[in-house]
């Protein structure tokens, strides 16, 4: 995995995911995001890092459209504006993030070896917080406390 920082688009796989979104017709972009989230949620056995990375990027895109969500400003995110995403993706994005940090998860294992200061987990927690604040589900424990 070519990774250079802890943000949701700070790796080769997420940058490729952004490129796929840019190449897709506008009407298909939400479906690509939904599929990335569902692939992660639906994985019951070992979660491959590439699937998890795409889900984190997808969750960040959903969170960016939430009130108070962090805008995607990195050059590695999508270049083209996304359509307004369905608010139902917020709950899926939370579920996907929760799955990323639930064993067995290759991405969690890899970051567990190198995330001494907790920056990667804090990045995920920020995305999750924005999603929960904007959703009607609101009361789940913060990711950093799990």
Query: DSSP letters along the chain, please?
Result: --B-SSSTTSBHHHHHHHHHHHHS-HHHHHHHHHHHHHHHHT--S-B-HHHHHHHHHHHHHHHHTSTTPPP--STTS-SSPPPPPPTTHHHHHHHHHHHHTSSSBHHHHHHHHH-TT-HHHHHHHHHHHHHHHHSS---SPPGGG-
Between 130 and 141, the higher pLDDT residue: 130
pLDDT (mean) for 30-51: 98
Q: What is the largest CA-CA distance in the chain?
A: 41
Give pLDDT, residue 135.
78
The residues facing 47 across adjacent strands are 105
Give pLDDT, residue 136.
52
pLDDT of residue 73 exceeding 70: yes
Task: Indicate the range of 27-41, 50-64, 131-145 predicted with least confidence.
Answer: 131-145
- Confidence at 144, pLDDT banded by 50, 70, 90: very low
Place of tokens 């990027």: 57
The whole model's pTM is what?
0.91
The mean predicted confidence, pLDDT, of the chain is 92
């Amino acid at each position: 995995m070519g990774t250079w920082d802890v943000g949701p688009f700070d790796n080769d796989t997420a940058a490729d995911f952004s490129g796929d979104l840019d190449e897709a017709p506008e009407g298909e972009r939400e479906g690509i995001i939904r599929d990335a989230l569902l692939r992660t949620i639906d994985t019951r056995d070992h979660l491959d890092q590439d699937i998890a990375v795409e889900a984190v990027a997808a969750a960040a895109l959903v969170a960016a459209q939430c009130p108070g969500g962090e805008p995607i400003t990195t050059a590695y995110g999508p270049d083209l504006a996304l359509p307004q995403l369905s608010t139902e993706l917020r709950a899926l994005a939370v579920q996907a993030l929760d799955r990323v940090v639930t064993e067995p998860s290759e991405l969690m294992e890899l970051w567990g070896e190198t995330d001494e200061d907790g920056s990667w987990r804090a990045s995920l927690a920020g995305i999750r917080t924005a999603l929960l604040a904007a959703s009607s589900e609101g009361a789940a424990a913060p990711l950093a406390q799990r």
